[in-house]
Amino acid sequence: MTDPYARKLVNRSFYTAKEDVHGRVVVVLNGLLENRNLQLITPISRTFPAGTVIELIGTDEAAAGPGETVQRIAYLAFVELRDAAVLVAGDPVSINGKPVGTLVGFDDTHMPNHQNTVLRMEKRISGADLGLRPGDPVCIHGIFPNPS
């Protein structure tokens, strides 16, 4: 059996409608690294049961995406997902109603403890420098079909 993600048979267009995923910041992180060496997995999506905690990590690397390596990162936050979720590369992410970045991929370094979830940001900035607080609302935006 071959992996359809590795063969690039599945892309974002396969996901035609998806609910917003809501969560909350449970830990605010602070720090920037130039040499993190995150190995983003090839699959463009991951599923999570309600109550899962993920780690949000930002990068400003234009080439960041599934199957790529990310060096320049900013630590943002650990987030508890309120809802069962399917997260897909390309999903916009906002915290406190403000856009933070766009999901670009996942790194399995700390699995099964938590999934590193990497966002592309215009400018790398840590969660502490963004002024995040525990309890801040997080939304990973869904995909809504065009009305007929």
- 26-63 pLDDT, tens digit per residue, is 999 999 999 999 999 999 999 999 999 999 999 999 99
Token digits for 35?
């040499």
Token digits for 8?
């690039």
Chain segment 94-136, per-residue pLDDT in tens: 999 999 999 999 999 998 999 999 999 999 999 999 999 999 9
Token digits for 97?
């109603």
Domain coordinates in residue numbering, the chain: 28-140
